[in-house]
């Protein structure tokens, strides 16, 4: 049965802010379909490009507007543990990774249908809290990119 199902096209959005304490990552406490910490993510709507999907999903899930968005040219896919009633015909998500910088001082307004809380954390804490391997790997990719970028800026 699962072989006839399709993958939902989506985006992972590792969201971060630069603070006096360094880079902090925004994690959301998921309640829809499973419980745990994640970063914003979501499906791409018909006729929408990936960058528009990133901005829309970030706004819908957090109320935030990014300062900048960057594609990381990292892709992946995963299967859902089961077929969800609100996603008929879908067996999992095929995603593309983005990073989005936001201001930590902006007010967060959660989509209460999907999430019950949020927290700003450092890299080590974020890596411990996110549950799934593809999310841990995405977080590591962003952290490596930010460190390399900061190194280049310091050397100039």
pLDDT higher at 114 or 102: 102
Q: Which pLDDT tens digit goes with each residue over 69-87?
A: 999 988 888 777 677 777 7
CA angle 4, 50, 142 (to 5 degrees): 105
Mean pLDDT across the stretch 61-66? 95
pLDDT higher than threshold 80 for residue 155: no
pLDDT higher at 151 or 71: 71
Total length of the chain: 156
pLDDT higher than threshold 90 for residue 63: yes
Q: Are 99 and 17 in contact (CB under 8 A)?
A: no
DSSP, residue by residue, 20-50: TTEEEEEEEEE-SSS-EEE--EEEPPTT--H
Share of the chain above pLDDT 70, in %: 89
Specify the CATH number for 2-155; select among 3.40.630.40, 3.40.640.10, 2.60.40.1180, 3.90.79.10: 3.90.79.10
Share of the chain above pLDDT 90, in %: 53
Q: Which pLDDT tens digit goes with each residue over 46-61?
A: 999 999 999 999 999 9
Q: Are 58 and 64 in contact (CB under 8 A)?
A: yes
Mean pLDDT across the stretch 134-139? 90
Alpha-carbon distance of 105 to 153, in angstroms, equals: 24
Of 147, 150, 151, the C-alpha closest to 123 is 147
Compute φ and ψ for 20, nearest 5 degrees: -65, -20
């Amino acid at each position: 049965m699962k072989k006839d199902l399709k993958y939902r096209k989506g985006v992972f959005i590792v969201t971060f802010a630069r603070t006096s304490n360094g880079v902090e990552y925004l994690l959301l406490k998921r309640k829809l379909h499973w419980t745990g910490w994640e970063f914003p993510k979501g499906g791409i709507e018909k006729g929408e490009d990936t960058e528009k999907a990133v901005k829309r999903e970030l706004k819908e899930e957090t109320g935030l507007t990014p300062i900048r968005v960057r594609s990381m040219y990292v892709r992946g896919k995963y299967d859902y543990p089961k077929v969800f009633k609100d996603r008929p015909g879908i067996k999992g998500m095929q995603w593309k990774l983005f990073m989005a910088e936001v201001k930590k001082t902006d007010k967060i307004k959660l989509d209460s249908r999907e999430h019950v809380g949020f927290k700003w954390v450092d890299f080590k804490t974020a890596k411990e809290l996110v549950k799934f391997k593809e999310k841990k790997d995405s977080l590591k990719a962003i952290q490596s990119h930010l460190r390399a970028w900061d190194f280049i800026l310091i050397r100039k």
